[in-house]
Amino acid sequence: MNRILALLGMAMLVSACGSIRLVSDYDEVIDRGVTEFSEQLSTHAKNMSELAGKPDGTYEATLMKYNALDSKIEGLITRARNNSDGKICKLHRETLARIKVLMKEQTPSQLQEGTDVSTATENSCSSRLLELARDQLSDIRTIHRDIDKCGPGMDISCLRPATSKDALAIAMQSANAVAIVETAKKSR
Amino acid sequence: MSVSAEDIFNKIMDAAETAFNEGWVVVKNYAPAEFRKMAVQLESIAENVAAFEIDKSQGYSPATGKVLFRMQRRATEAVLIAVTQLTLMAVEKALNAIIKVVKEAFGAALAAAL
């Protein structure tokens, strides 16, 4: 009798323990949104590469495209932030230590070490990934507007072909980081 | 039906290993590929700045190279965060596989006892 009661107790304990979630649910809006962002950024960079030095390739001629891309990624950031309950993205000690070695004093203050990982902190990591993708776009805009120059007199704003190629490859790494996490969530 | 600790332990180990490995494969495929891309990009930045120094119509300026380097550091942060998330998902799969085994073990023992 005692044995059956013990088994019943264990069964109740185990059944009370539903499946564990360390990572938030798949978000189709973010997955689809970041894919569209990547496609549009890719098209923009390739267009700028071909139009470098021409009137259509100047920053002034394309700033509306930057604004559209910026609005798109900001919308996704807002969505991810709304799901994070004001929590911050917490990383494992070793991961954060590596980031600090790489980024030194520029390590974002938003990143902290923590063991209280939850879906809220994880949503904050999703938000952080999207912020990084937005910052990459901002840097491409800065190069286009203020740094790269083309034309006979090297006085026309542009994205040089070499710049477009490298900036796109780097920005895609950030956007892909969001996409691969969402894809992994979708397949579990 | 008796509840064998050894039997449950072996089932837990098998389930956890299989589930964790399924998630870990994603990390193992993703991380090295991204770290290789970083190395290629850093080499490309150095080459393009050098090309500009020789011929101003080629490559890009050191100022552009500096911004691209900053972007690469940011991409590194993104990859490391993604790796952390993927690892957590592998752990999550392993934990849930363990819970499933325990549920099945006690469910079977209970059915036999009743």
Cβ contact A7–B81 (<8 Å): no
Indicate if the pLDDT at residue A84 is higher than 70: no
Question: Looking at the complex, does the CB of residue A24 fall below 8 Å from at least one CB of chain B?
Answer: no
Cβ contact B92–A21 (<8 Å): yes
DSSP β-ladder status, A112-113 and A149-150: unpaired
Nearest CA in chain B to A162: B59
ipTM: 0.81
Spell out the alpha helix ranges (H) of A17-160.
28-51, 59-82, 93-103, 119-142
Q: Are the C-beta atoms of B72 and B38 separated by less than 8 Å?
A: yes
Residue of B36, B77, B79, B102 to mutate, interface with A, max A Cβ within 10 Å: B77
Cβ contact A7–B85 (<8 Å): no
Give the pLDDT of residue B11. Answer: 76
Average pLDDT over residues A167-173: 97
Cβ contact A173–B34 (<8 Å): yes
Q: Min CA distance, B13 vs chain A (Å)?
A: 17
The whole-angstrom separation of Cα B114 and Cα B112 is 6
Question: Looking at the complex, does the CB of residue B92 fall below 8 Å from at least one CB of chain A?
Answer: yes
Q: Are the C-beta atoms of B26 and A179 separated by less than 8 Å?
A: no
pLDDT digits (tens, 9 = 90+) for B32-72: 899 899 999 999 999 999 999 999 999 999 999 999 999 99
Threshold 0.95, pTM exceeds: no
Question: Looking at the complex, does the CB of residue B69 fall below 8 Å from at least one CB of chain A?
Answer: no
Question: Looking at the complex, does the CB of residue A15 fall below 8 Å from at least one CB of chain B?
Answer: yes
What does pLDDT average to over chain A?
A: 83
